[in-house]
Amino acid sequence: MEPIRTIRSRFVLLPIDDADTDQIIPARFLKTTSRAGLGAHLFADRRGPDFPLDRPEARGAHVLVAGRNFGCGSSREHAPWALFDAGFRAIIALGIADIFRANAIKNGIVPVVVDEPFHARLTASPGAEVVIDLDKLAVFIEDGGPSAAFSLDPFSRHCLMAGVDELGLLLAQVDSIAAYEKQVEASP
């Protein structure tokens, strides 16, 4: 995973709440044994000239802005795989569902939950660039007023900024895991 410090990009505005993982990538595209190429199916059943991702100004945008409870529904990691493959590196939303959030962080997508006033400023700034600064835990609109703070637990932030692979950290705990197993499996 590539380390991330700052993301500066135009954004795509998806003005809906509860964008569930079945919308992000419909289940029929889950019949794969690979994680490659899923960006082609991102929001497959929503695409068309009027869909925000298909408008000309969406080209090259690395940030998706959505409403409440983004990524609710299934645990499919195909959702962040598809978003990443389509070029997205951050989701800014009024809320992000728990499993999606955990999956996103493991795939180099920054989850940024903002309040309604900042969200309203974003909505009112189509075509602007947004800057997400992981070092300062701040997000701002280029030439668009003061920055807003966002929260990210220190571990998730560290993983994103250092490109840390969690499996490596768990494998480093193998002695503790073995000791735990020995203790638990010895007790009646």
Nearest-angstrom CA–CA distance, 143 and 89: 21
Nearest-angstrom CA–CA distance, 83 and 105: 12
**Under 8 Å CB-to-CB from 77, ≥6 apart: which residues?**
35, 103, 106, 107
Binding to another protein in span 23-62, by CB under 8 A: 23, 26-28, 30-35, 45-46
Candidates 47, 57, 149, 173; binder of another protein (CB under 8 A) is: 173
How near is the Cβ of 151 to another protein at its closest, in Å? 12
How near is the Cβ of 140 to another protein at its closest, in Å? 26
Candidates 48, 50, 146, 174; binder of another protein (CB under 8 A) is: 174
For the window 88-107, what string marks contact with another protein as x by the rule CB under 8 A? -------x-xxx--xx--xx
> Please, are residues 77 and 103 in contact by the beta-carbon 8 Å criterion?
yes
Tell me the longest C-alpha to C-alpha distance in the chain. 65
For the record, the structure tokens of 7 come out as 């993301």
Terminal Cα-to-Cα distance of the chain (whole angstroms): 43
How near is the Cβ of 114 to another protein at its closest, in Å? 15
Applying CB under 8 A, which residues contact another protein?
15-18, 20, 22-23, 26-28, 30-35, 45-46, 67-69, 72-77, 80, 95, 97-99, 102-103, 106-107, 153-155, 158, 166-167, 169-171, 173-174, 176-177, 180-181, 184, 188
